[in-house]
């Protein structure tokens, strides 16, 4: 019987070796940064069954990651205002490349690949100009920086891509910061967050909410299979009963999610992550400050249910349902099952690898 090794040897001889894929790692469903018991940090690959398949060291605390659409490769971003990101070969743990923000820039902790995986787009702060930028990196040339474009606003945080397209969606949080001031927010009285769509390097559509919501920083995004965008917000300053979630489809007005004043206040002005269900009919948002997950009906944009969970922040979806992670180390299907992972403190985001290839 011909062995797998003999087949691979034959392919190698003919130059037809199969390209490595995520399946070579056991098919991880998610990526998440985590804190370790010794005070260090790691990027972890997690299966759909909640097993930790790999744990790769990071030099500092991570925020989010971008999974390459085909190669078992991830870009791990440092927490804002980090100035580097690591491209990690998830098969070996080797750092394939280091992305260094240009002078006068820092990263915001998020990025997304182009549909074909040849480009990486990163959200950045031009902190001397007080303007947002999108850095463009060539993933076919060891992640060489090749260009940058305006983000359409101040403080771009999350960035996604519409399914089947290279249209970028950017959450411009509206908050001006500068490394000399640490994480201080410098323009709260005048901040103007927006949602920007970028086609071929130009802002093609932009959404701003009403003036009473100008202190609701647009921070995190989810995109459904139909192209509907959910944007989650974080209130700056006083905690109010104003909505912290909205939905938008291109060419239409945004829809503010509906919940009672008590339910909005329970989120303590802060949504940490957002994700659509596989069907697109349900939307989950998390609040580590409020210790709860809220579930919304996307057709009516109304609150359906909520689940209490200490320090919950990461949320993503699988075919089996929505999954959340907590700073306590728990991974939980919202439908019920919880898997504790002793010693790990899950960080802000749970990144679904499947989403990166849509």
Per-residue model confidence as pLDDT tens digits over 217-265: 999 999 999 999 999 999 998 899 999 999 999 999 999 999 999 999 9
Q: What's the whole-model pTM score?
A: 0.91
- In contact, 124 and 107? CB cutoff 8 Å: yes
Distance, CA of 298 to CA of 276 (rounded, Å):
9
CATH no. for residue 326?
A: 2.130.10.10
pLDDT in tens, 97-135: 999 999 999 999 999 999 999 999 999 999 899 899 999
* DSSP single-letter state for residue 18: P
Domain carrying residue 252: 19-357
- Considering only CA atoms, which of 256, 262, 214, 255 is closest in space to residue 241? 262
Contacts 24+ apart (CB under 8 A), 251-259: 251/205, 254/195, 254/207, 254/209, 255/301, 256/209, 256/301, 257/283, 257/296, 257/301, 257/302, 257/303, 258/300, 258/301, 258/302, 258/303, 259/294, 259/296, 259/302, 259/303
263: in domain? yes
Q: Give the mean pLDDT of 323-330.
A: 96
Task: Give the confidence band of 5 by pLDDT, cuts at 50, 70, 90.
Answer: very low
30: in domain? yes
133: in domain? yes
Provide, rounded to the nearest whole percent, the portion of the chain with pLDDT above 90: 71
- The two tokens of residue 313 are 């922040």
Q: Is 92 helix (H, G, I), strand (E, B) or coil?
A: coil
278: in domain? yes
- The two tokens of residue 114 are 């182009």
Q: Would you put residue 105 in left (φ > 0), alpha (ψ -120 to 50) or beta?
A: beta
Q: Give the mean pLDDT of 191-195.
A: 97
What pLDDT score was predicted for residue 323? 95
2: in domain? no
The β-bridge relationship of strands 105-113 and 95-100 is unpaired
The pLDDT of residue 78 is above 60: yes
Task: Give the confidence band of 18 by pLDDT, cuts at 50, 70, 90.
Answer: low
Based on the structure, what is the number of domains in the chain?
A: 1
347: in domain? yes
158: in domain? yes
**CA–CA distance from 120 to each of 99, 105, 219, 337 (Å)?**
11, 16, 19, 35
Average pLDDT, the chain: 90
Distance, CA of 303 to CA of 349 (rounded, Å):
22
pLDDT in tens, 88-97: 988 888 899 9
Distance, CA of 138 to CA of 24 (rounded, Å):
24
- The two tokens of residue 207 are 């959404």
What pLDDT score was predicted for residue 11? 40
157: in domain? yes
The pLDDT of residue 7 is above 70: no
- Of 54-63, 153-162, 202-211, 266-275, give the lowest mean pLDDT range: 54-63
């Amino acid at each position: 019987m011909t062995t797998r090794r003999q087949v691979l040897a034959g392919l190698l001889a003919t130059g037809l070796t199969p390209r490595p894929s995520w399946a070579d790692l056991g098919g991880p469903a998610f990526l998440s940064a985590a804190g370790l018991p010794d005070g260090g940090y790691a990027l972890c690959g997690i299966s759909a069954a909640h097993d930790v398949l790999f744990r790769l060291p990071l030099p500092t605390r991570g925020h989010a990651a971008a999974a390459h659409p085909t190669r078992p490769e991830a870009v791990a971003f440092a927490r804002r205002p980090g100035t580097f990101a690591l491209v990690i070969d998830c098969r070996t743990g080797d750092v394939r490349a280091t992305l260094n923000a240009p002078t006068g820039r820092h990263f915001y902790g998020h990025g997304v690949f182009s549909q074909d995986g040849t480009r990486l787009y990163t959200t950045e702060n031009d902190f001397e100009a007080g303007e947002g930028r999108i850095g463009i990196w060539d993933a076919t040339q060891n992640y060489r920086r090749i260009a940058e474009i305006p983000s359409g606003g101040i403080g771009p945080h999350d960035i996604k891509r519409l399914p089947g397209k290279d249209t970028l969606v950017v959450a411009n949080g509206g908050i001006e910061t500068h490394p000399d001031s640490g994480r201080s927010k410098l323009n709260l009285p005048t901040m103007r967050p927006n949602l920007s769509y970028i086609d071929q390097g130009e802002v093609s559509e932009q959404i701003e909410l009403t003036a009473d919501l100008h202190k609701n920083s647009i921070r995190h995004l989810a995109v459904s299979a139909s192209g509907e965008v959910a944007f989650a917000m974080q209130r700056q300053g006083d905690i109010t009963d104003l909505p912290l979630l909205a939905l938008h489809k291109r060419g239409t007005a945004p829809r503010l999610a509906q919940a009672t004043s008590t339910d909005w206040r329970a989120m303590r002005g802060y949504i940490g992550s957002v994700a659509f269900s596989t069907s697109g009919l349900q939307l989950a948002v998390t609040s580590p400050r409020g210790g709860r997950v809220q579930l919304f009906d996307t057709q009516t944009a109304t609150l359906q249910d909520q689940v209490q969970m200490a320090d919950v922040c990461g949320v993503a979806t699988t075919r089996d349902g929505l999954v959340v992670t907590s700073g306590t180390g728990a991974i939980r299907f919202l439908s019920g099952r919880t898997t504790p992972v002793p010693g790990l403190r899950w960080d802000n985001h749970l990144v679904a690898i499947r989403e990166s290839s849509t």
